[in-house]
Structure 1
């Protein structure tokens, strides 16, 4: 068997599995609701499950930023802000998939507020595959991170020995889930 035949067979299996996953899931992915707590500025814990908010990236917990010449821990501030948002009521999340670190990716809301969008809009997270328009508003209004200087979280992680991440992509999330299902990751 040629390499090309193997690649085509694997691609077809992945496509069939992706179709099966899409047919089994409600439109847009599984929906679940509960209370939650903030693990950091872009991750929450809900019912024992760690959920990474899709489309945005918040500073790491120990990441410092500068404002008016003084250092402030913007990562800790992002976590505190997410925790404050989570206290507003029941959180509803729509599963998108998993990322390459096997984290659950989801879009989550509290009431009418999209948590990822709110974090970016309030200037305590940056767009990471989505929310570019609200990031532009936060930047123009010099909110949160934009009130001083900071390293984008992915740049800070890279400089501190952590592997780079790719922006979140719904299709890639489903594909990685399918590949793991068949042990092909």
Structure 2
């Protein structure tokens, strides 16, 4: 019984590491506020998340189109050079992958959080918590107004699909 349980647990935890894709490198294109594409492969940015397309944000009580602003920020960042992404988990059933990405040796994921246009996903990593705190204190990006965290927006909107 114990041997069977151990074998099952080992299979669950050992199998994903073996099925991670190789790194992706190339010119990246922003396709969402937290998704890029390299060579036709869509990659979600690990450890951070940005607002959803239909999400509403406000500044001083007035509507603000925060999603296009977040996409523009990601476009600006990926325009700085070739991007290399390292998958952190195997693709989910929809083929989506989460990855840590770098441009010119600097973390793209952290740069989005530091700019205030993304929030840290502490269920994935705590690496970007300090960057989020600084952006919040400086009222950068999304923090210059009010917004729901993306997972709260999805829940309120009845969107039940989450990240891989």
Counterpart position of 1:139: 136
Tell me, yes or no, if the aligned pair for 2:16 and 2:90 is still in contact at 8 Å: no
User: Aligned pair in 2 of structure 1 residues 30, 99: CA closer, same or farther (>3 Å)?
Assistant: closer
- Counterpart of 2:30 (choices 38, 41, 52) is 38
Structure 2-normalised TM-score? 0.85
Tell me, yes or no, if the aligned pair for 1:31 and 1:94 is still in contact at 8 Å: yes
**Counterpart secondary structure, 1:10:** helix
Unaligned 5+ runs, structure 2: none
User: In 1, Cα distance between the equivalents of 2:118 and 2:70?
Assistant: 7
Higher Cα radius of gyration: 1
- Structure 1 residue ranges (4+ consecutive) displaced by more than 6 angstroms after TM superposition: none
Tell me, yes or no, if the aligned pair for 2:48 and 2:113 is still in contact at 8 Å: yes
Please identify which structure carries the higher helix content: 1
User: Aligned pair in 2 of structure 1 residues 141, 99: CA closer, same or farther (>3 Å)?
Assistant: farther
Counterpart position of 2:10: 12
Counterpart position of 2:44: 52
How large is the Cα RMSD of the aligned pairs?
A: 2.4
> Paired residues, what number?
159
Tell me, yes or no, if the aligned pair for 1:61 and 1:79 is still in contact at 8 Å: no
- Counterpart of 2:149 (choices 148, 152, 162) is 152
Structure 1-normalised TM-score? 0.76
Deviation at 1:164, TM superposition (A): 5.8
Deviation at 1:15, TM superposition (A): 4.5
**Counterpart secondary structure, 1:150:** coil
Alignment of 1:57-68 (within 5 A): 57-68=49-60
Tell me, yes or no, if the aligned pair for 1:158 and 1:164 is still in contact at 8 Å: no
Counterpart position of 1:73: 65
